[in-house]
Amino acid sequence: MPDASTPARIRVAVQGELGSFSELAAYEFFPERDVAICPCESFVDLFAAVDEGRADFGMAPVENSLAGSIHQVWELLVSRPLPVMGEILLRVSHCLISHPGARLEDIRDVYSHPQALAQCRDFLRSHGHIREHEVYDTAGAVKMIKARERQGDAAIGPAQSASDQGMEILARAIETQEENYTRFLVLSREPASLEGQTPLKTTVVGALADTGRRLPEVLQVLEEQEIGVLKVELRKRLGEPWAYDLYLEFEGGAEGPAALALECMAESCRQLTVIGSYPPGRAAIPRLHQR
Amino acid sequence: MPDASTPARIRVAVQGELGSFSELAAYEFFPERDVAICPCESFVDLFAAVDEGRADFGMAPVENSLAGSIHQVWELLVSRPLPVMGEILLRVSHCLISHPGARLEDIRDVYSHPQALAQCRDFLRSHGHIREHEVYDTAGAVKMIKARERQGDAAIGPAQSASDQGMEILARAIETQEENYTRFLVLSREPASLEGQTPLKTTVVGALADTGRRLPEVLQVLEEQEIGVLKVELRKRLGEPWAYDLYLEFEGGAEGPAALALECMAESCRQLTVIGSYPPGRAAIPRLHQR
More confident residue, B6 or A64: A64
Average pLDDT over every residue of B159-180: 94
What string of DSSP letters covers chain A?
---TT-TTEEEEEEESSTTSHHHHHHHHHSTTSEEEEEEESSHHHHHHHHHTTS-SEEEEEEEETTTEE-HHHHHHHHHS---EEEEEEEE---EEEESTT--GGG--EEEE-HHHHHHTHHHHHTTTTPEEEE-S-HHHHHHHHHHHT-TTEEEEE-HHHHHHHT-EEEES---S-S--EEEEEEEESSPPP-TT--S-EEEEEEEE-GGGTTHHHHHHHHHHTT--EEEEEEEE-TTSTT-EEEEEEEES-SSTHHHHHHHHHHHHSEEEEEEEEEPPPPEEPPPPPP-
- Verify whether residue A203 is a known catalytic residue: no
Distance of CA A216 to the CA centre of its chain: 29
- Confidence band (pLDDT; 50, 70, 90) for B5? very low
Q: Is the pLDDT of residue A6 over 70?
A: no
CA separation for the pair B237, B241 (Å, rounded): 8
User: Which percentage of chain B shows pLDDT scores above 70?
Assistant: 98
Of A193-202, A223-232, B228-237, B245-254, the range with the lowest mean pLDDT is A193-202
User: Which percentage of chain A shows pLDDT scores above 90?
Assistant: 84
| pLDDT value, residue B33 | 92
CA separation for the pair B148, B78 (Å, rounded): 41
Q: Which of B36, B37, B138 is nearest to B93 (CA)?
A: B138
In B, minimum Cα distance to A211 occurs at: B231
Q: Is the pLDDT of residue A290 over 90?
A: no
Catalytic-role residue among A182, A202, A203, A250:
A182
Q: Which uninterrupted H or E stretch holds B279?
A: none
Q: Is the pLDDT of residue B289 over 90?
A: no
**pLDDT tens profile B141-153:** 999 999 999 999 9
Contacts of A231 in chain B (CB under 8 A): 211-213
Other CB atoms within a 10 A radius of the CB of residue B106 amount to: 14
| pLDDT value, residue A198 | 84
Q: Is the pLDDT of residue B32 over 80?
A: yes
Nearest by CB to B179, which of A177, A233, A241?
A241
- Confidence band (pLDDT; 50, 70, 90) for A16? confident
Average pLDDT over every residue of A231-246: 94
Q: Do B219 and A219 touch (CB under 8 A)?
A: yes
CA separation for the pair B171, B102 (Å, rounded): 11
Asked if B234 reaches chain A (Cβ–Cβ under 8 Å), the answer is: yes
Burial of A20 (0-12, 13-18, 19+ CB in 10 A): buried
Interacting residues of A26 by C-beta distance below 8 A, sequence separation 6+: A12, A14, A35, A37, A57, A59
Q: Is the pLDDT of residue B4 over 60?
A: no
Q: Which of B179, B235, B55 is nearest to A236 (CA)?
A: B235
